[in-house]
Structure 1
């Protein structure tokens, strides 16, 4: 049974989420003390976290960042405010998906099911090779890092999944639809700029590790991992 940690200070919303998700076979734990979220996360070891942004003491971005420092567990952000800036900030702090309040329970369930399948279930990739190396850059699926001889960068779950697809396809073009279908279970629930924001983050990390690779936008089609100046 997959475990979900619900970090939501509005008790009615937390209770409704728990009741609905448990009808579909999930085991849910609701956080009660909003100063010890990381300790609770370590204690129950959930498969997924639903994280509200507006919390007492520290906000959801803070706790997402703390969780991401030690786990690739999917984090779904729950918030009434989800402007483009909020989404970018959420992704930068480890969020994998977003749910806007007020929300439909069907959308919540679809997003949760998608994350579980992609990360643990029927769509989770089983591969023998846990590293991919293209030119001077290595993607390690176990440590969730991109490395060169000069430096290394950690990745979020979505960045890792995108990076793996691009590395496997090198040097071929991958369409936006292929990326969305491979990483998000149903792209109709994905904010339009979510993929673009994750690609932008990957580009920045490739530059920071002084990689010989770059991600090129193929207008109207998708993205292509290439050697620089090629």
Structure 2
């Protein structure tokens, strides 16, 4: 049974989510002490986290960053904040998806199902000691890290899938549609800028580790992994 941690201080919403999850065969657990979200996460070891933003003491961005330091577990933000900046900030702080309130329980469930299939189910990446190397850069699917001989950086779930597709397609172009189809279960539920934000984050990580690679935008088509021209 897949376990879902619910970090939501509105107990009516939290209980509604738990009831829906239980109904469809998940094990939902509601966080009660919002000063110890990370402790509860490590104790429960969930397969996915539903994270509200407006929480007592520390907000959901803070807890997303804390969780991301110890786990690549998918984090789905649930928030009444609807601006593009809020969504970008959520993704930049480790979230894998952003659902605005008020939300449809069917949409939330569909997104959870998609994440579970992608990460743990029939669409999961076979990472049996797989290491992909291009230029001076190595992508290790076991450790979920992008590295050079100088340094390394940890990837989020979506960054891993994007990076894997770009590495495997190298030097060919990967279309936006291919990336969306590979990473998200149903593009109907994807925010328009989510792919772009994840590409920007991945570019920054390539720069951080001093990679010889770069991600080129092929306007109107998609993205291409290539060696930098120096």
Q: With structure 2 as the length reference, what TM-score do the two structures score?
A: 0.97
Structure-2 residue corresponding to 1:11? 11
Structure-1 residue corresponding to 2:30? 30
The number of equivalent residue pairs is: 230
Alpha-carbon deviation of 1:125?
A: 2.1
5+ residue gaps in structure 1? none
Structure-1 residue corresponding to 2:72? 72
SS at match of 2:226: strand
Structure-2 residue corresponding to 1:184? 184
Structure-1 residue corresponding to 2:100? 100
5+ residue gaps in structure 2? none
Alpha-carbon deviation of 1:127?
A: 4.2
Kept in 1, the 8 Å contact 2:132–2:138? The answer is: yes
Q: Distance in 1 between matches of 2:31 and 2:208?
A: 36
Structure-2 residue corresponding to 1:147? 147
Q: Distance in 2 between matches of 1:38 and 1:209?
A: 28
Structure-2 residue corresponding to 1:213? 213
Give the ranges of 4+ consecutive aligned residues of structure 1 lying more than 6 Å apart after TM superposition.
none
**Per-residue Cα deviation, 1:108-140 (whole angstroms, up to 9, x for no partner):** 011000000000011112243421111100011
Alpha-carbon deviation of 1:23?
A: 0.8
SS at match of 2:174: strand
Q: Distance in 1 between matches of 2:82 and 2:148?
A: 35
Kept in 1, the 8 Å contact 2:127–2:142? The answer is: no
Structure-2 residue corresponding to 1:109? 109
Structure-1 residue corresponding to 2:62? 62
Q: Distance in 2 between matches of 1:42 and 1:150?
A: 31
Kept in 1, the 8 Å contact 2:174–2:222? The answer is: yes
Distance 1:126 1:44, change over 3 A: same
Structure-2 residue corresponding to 1:196? 196
Q: Distance in 1 between matches of 2:112 and 2:178?
A: 20
Q: With structure 1 as the length reference, what TM-score do the two structures score?
A: 0.97
Which has the higher mean CA deviation after the structures are superposed, 84-93 or 218-227? 84-93
Kept in 1, the 8 Å contact 2:129–2:142? The answer is: no
